[in-house]
Structure 1
Amino acid sequence: MARVKDINPFLVNSYISKEYFCNREDELNVLLRNVRGNVNTTLISPRRLGKTGLILRFFEMLGEMGDYGTVYVDIYSSRNLSDFIKLLTTAIINKFPERTPVGKRFLKLLKGLRPVFSFDAITGAPQVQFNYQSESDKEYTLQQLLAFINEQPHPVVVAIDEFQQIAHYPEKNVEAILRTYIQQFNRLCFIFSGSRRHTLMDIFANANRPFYSSTRFINLDAIERVTYRNFIREKFEQGGRAIDDESIDYVLEWTKGYTFYTQSLCNRLYSLRKINLDAVKAECLALLRENEPIYLQFRNLITSKQWEFLLALAKEESVSQIYSKEFLVKHQLGTPSSIHRMLDALLEKEMILESVSSTGSSYSVYDVFLMRWMQRTY
């Protein structure tokens, strides 16, 4: 294993420890306050803004305190309640390995639920599948899993990432089932996180849905620029690299300060010993050239009209008056009704990002690197 000082501090695909995590103190404090008050949280954030890293940093903080247990499960790949149960079971197994006393008790519980065990062919990680005779078997299995977590010595915080997936399950009663079980177990506190704002708001803010008014909301925004600038400078200096403020400001502007894109560019720059503005621009260009085949493929996945609409947003960077005559005429986009249809389609494909504030909604290309490529190419 690499020594800590040998690790590139600008992580892209994983979370290691707080030393490589930038700020989010306000959000961490809100999460802690909610957990201590036994209040569930809905965490909403666009993809690649760092919500998973925030959850894992929060779990690390809870571990340091020693007062809470934690379970993290990502249900993005789930298609139904069976998948949900399978992923939750795997998360518990990974949290409480077989050799531990808690793990042994969990395996004893599982045997009573008639599972089929297997192992991932690549990672070797344990996997489990249940054979259900009826829908009530699924509900019973889910209840037993949550009951087991609830019985741990310390209260447990359960984070369910990409929670909006449950809205697409073929079973129509999953929300009601989960809400019922959550109310039964008072030693469990939940963080429901996801990237599809409209879906999550419908789940948690619609008076006709089971989860209505059952959580407090955290809306994740980009990290404050001054804080991020200081973090970047510190990490380069600690690694014996020199970078000037002009270069850091360019990085943050070019990536819009979005965590994944900023980390990705800084990760590349970290391979250099001395970084100036010319070096930053060269890495930006190299990054776009590497990803160009992907962006060209995007163009083939949508209609030509949708591509022209996306290109207009890229050129403007952000548009609030999406149906205005000025915007439509300037980019020759057609009628407001056609824009409405294209907007819905591209929001669903997560190619357009809708940002909501007190002044209304604004729209931009979801992938910042794609936006920069379109600005440069067309």
Structure 2
Amino acid sequence: MNPFSYGGIVGNGAFCNRSQELGELTETMQSAGRCFVYAERRMGKTSLILRALGKLPKKQFVSVYVDLWPTDGSAAFAEATAKAISSAAETTTRRLLEVGKSLFGRLRPSVSLDDSGQPKIDFGIEGRAVSKTDLIEVLDAPQKLAKKTGKTVVMVFDEFQQITDYEDDLTERQIRSSIQHHKNVAYIFLGSRKHLLQSMFLDESRPLYRSAMHYPIGPIDTKHWQPFILKRFQDAKKRIDRSVIDELCARTGGHPFYTQHLCHVLWSMTDAGEEVNGDHLGIAIAELLRRESHAYVNLWESLTKNEQRFLRGLAQSEVPPKPFSSDFTRRFGLRTASNSQRAAESLESSDLIEREESSFVITDRFFRLWIRQLFS
């Protein structure tokens, strides 16, 4: 089987490095800390957090993972959180209902069997709004569970920026009000829309201002990719030169998803006993861009001329450019800094670019390569 995994949760065998991040995040969980973890999409933050949760002894910790991506309001937030807490605390039908009633009596819990015959818990809040009292009950449940079990409860909220799209800021305000009093409960807030998350945690006017430490997850250095990629080719009796790995990582920026994806294609193109060279890498990249071409053409044509010019400038710059400088705006036809700023704001709100220190990066590394190819 192809040893390079992408597009989903990555297990231990396909997981590259992150030993420092794993240790630091595990320590935060063990000490009942609060951490705001943010990264670009597909950077592997969910896989990393789930791996850290897996290292916690079950006799001492209760791990609760809440995916907020499907939620669209306070009621959906309350239901998703209550389900995750109940399911993490108990698994048998009888005990699941007992826990649900003891922690979430206001939400009218009921237990049934799913299609596989496993018990699942539901709550009577579908289609109705939840009150502040309902939210308090849900958000106080981790503290109650910690007291009841004598264990540290680790709450992970994934895609946390989703709450900025709710009908009001009730959930955001109540989270701050409730969790500030909790003991023996760790809170990990994960998110991929950095500009939204940073506004939640760095804006003095927002309820969650400075309520958790910041922990950015970035690309993986080439020095860590080198042994990881080499071993997986060697295990299949395939050879790849270190210089090719250097070039591969330069093309993907060390981003886990795009690096694993490109390695996946390159590995599948290589026969046992064959050696991968720069030509093979070029063919693999061309194949990837061919597969994505239709989507990229539609995306490109949906952009304004100034947005296209801004992206072209980012794509064609070998080092992070100064996108509001006169040199950049003149070179790529943006004419003025204000035009460049408006393009950047629009592209960032669409998640096509992310801020990186004093510049920006195109979040889809293959889209960057496609743009470079378009103007080559």
Q: Contact conserved, 1:317 with 1:364, CA < 8 A, in 2?
A: no
Aligned to 1:49: 43
Q: Is 1:89 matched up with 2:82?
A: yes
CA distance, structure 1, for counterparts of residue 63 and residue 53 of structure 2: 6
CA distance, structure 2, for counterparts of residue 137 and residue 146 of structure 1: 16
Q: Contact conserved, 2:61 with 2:153, CA < 8 A, in 1?
A: yes
Aligned to 2:69: 76
Range with bigger deviation, 46-55 or 208-217: 208-217
CA distance, structure 1, for counterparts of residue 305 and residue 331 of structure 2: 17
Aligned to 1:276: 276
Secondary structure of 2:180 counterpart:
helix
CA distance, structure 1, for counterparts of residue 194 and residue 17 of structure 2: 23
Q: Contact conserved, 1:82 with 1:138, CA < 8 A, in 2?
A: no
Aligned to 1:229: 226
Deviation at 1:371, TM superposition (A): 0.6
Q: Contact conserved, 2:101 with 2:108, CA < 8 A, in 1?
A: no
Secondary structure of 1:88 counterpart:
helix
CA distance, structure 1, for counterparts of residue 48 and residue 263 of structure 2: 19
Q: Is 1:256 matched up with 2:249?
A: no
Deviation at 1:291, TM superposition (A): 0.3
Q: Contact conserved, 2:39 with 2:218, CA < 8 A, in 1?
A: yes
Q: Contact conserved, 2:97 with 2:109, CA < 8 A, in 1?
A: no
Over 3 Å counting, the alpha-carbon distance change for 1:134 and 1:40 in structure 2 is closer
Deviation at 1:189, TM superposition (A): 0.4
Q: What is the TM-score when the length of structure 1 is the normalising length? A: 0.86
CA distance, structure 2, for counterparts of residue 205 and residue 309 of structure 1: 27
Aligned to 2:139: 143
- AA in 2 matched with 1:51: K
Q: What is the TM-score when the length of structure 2 is the normalising length? A: 0.87
Aligned to 2:350: 349
Aligned to 1:182: 179
CA distance, structure 1, for counterparts of residue 62 and residue 236 of structure 2: 34
Secondary structure of 1:211 counterpart:
coil
CA distance, structure 1, for counterparts of residue 138 and residue 232 of structure 2: 44
Over 3 Å counting, the alpha-carbon distance change for 1:16 and 1:329 in structure 2 is closer
Deviation at 1:102, TM superposition (A): 5.1
Q: Is 1:59 matched up with 2:53?
A: yes
Q: Is 1:14 matched up with 2:8?
A: yes
CA distance, structure 2, for counterparts of residue 125 and residue 257 of structure 1: 42
1:125-151 residue CA offsets vs partner (Å, 9 max, x unmatched): 957453346523532452364355433
CA distance, structure 2, for counterparts of residue 193 and residue 133 of structure 1: 25
Q: Is 1:246 matched up with 2:240?
A: no
CA distance, structure 2, for counterparts of residue 245 and residue 217 of structure 1: 34
Q: Contact conserved, 1:59 with 1:70, CA < 8 A, in 2?
A: yes
CA distance, structure 2, for counterparts of residue 253 and residue 125 of structure 1: 48
- AA in 2 matched with 1:183: Q
Over 3 Å counting, the alpha-carbon distance change for 1:239 and 1:87 in structure 2 is farther
Listed as ranges, the gaps of 5+ residues in structure 1 are 1-5
Q: 2:367 aligns with which of 349, 366, 370?
A: 370
Q: Contact conserved, 1:118 with 1:127, CA < 8 A, in 2?
A: yes
- AA in 2 matched with 1:225: T
Aligned to 1:339: 340
RMSD, matched Cα: 2.9
Over 3 Å counting, the alpha-carbon distance change for 1:61 and 1:133 in structure 2 is closer
CA distance, structure 2, for counterparts of residue 128 and residue 55 of structure 1: 26
Over 3 Å counting, the alpha-carbon distance change for 1:119 and 1:305 in structure 2 is farther
Deviation at 1:304, TM superposition (A): 2.7
1:254-275 residue CA offsets vs partner (Å, 9 max, x unmatched): 1111011001111222323335
Range with bigger deviation, 336-345 or 271-280: 271-280
Listed as ranges, the gaps of 5+ residues in structure 2 are none
CA distance, structure 2, for counterparts of residue 332 and residue 24 of structure 1: 40
Q: Contact conserved, 1:203 with 1:211, CA < 8 A, in 2?
A: yes
- AA in 2 matched with 1:177: Q
1:16-72 residue CA offsets vs partner (Å, 9 max, x unmatched): 532321111211222133233322111121112221121111112224x75322111
1:183-204 residue CA offsets vs partner (Å, 9 max, x unmatched): 3431210111112223222222
**What percentage of residue pairs aligned between the two structures are identical?**
28
Aligned to 1:3: none
Q: Is 1:215 matched up with 2:212?
A: yes
CA distance, structure 2, for counterparts of residue 97 and residue 265 of structure 1: 41
Secondary structure of 1:363 counterpart:
strand
Q: Contact conserved, 1:318 with 1:364, CA < 8 A, in 2?
A: no
Deviation at 1:154, TM superposition (A): 2.0
Aligned to 2:286: 285
CA distance, structure 2, for counterparts of residue 133 and residue 221 of structure 1: 38
Q: Contact conserved, 2:6 with 2:261, CA < 8 A, in 1?
A: yes
1:167-188 residue CA offsets vs partner (Å, 9 max, x unmatched): 2322223222112221343121
Secondary structure of 1:13 counterpart:
coil
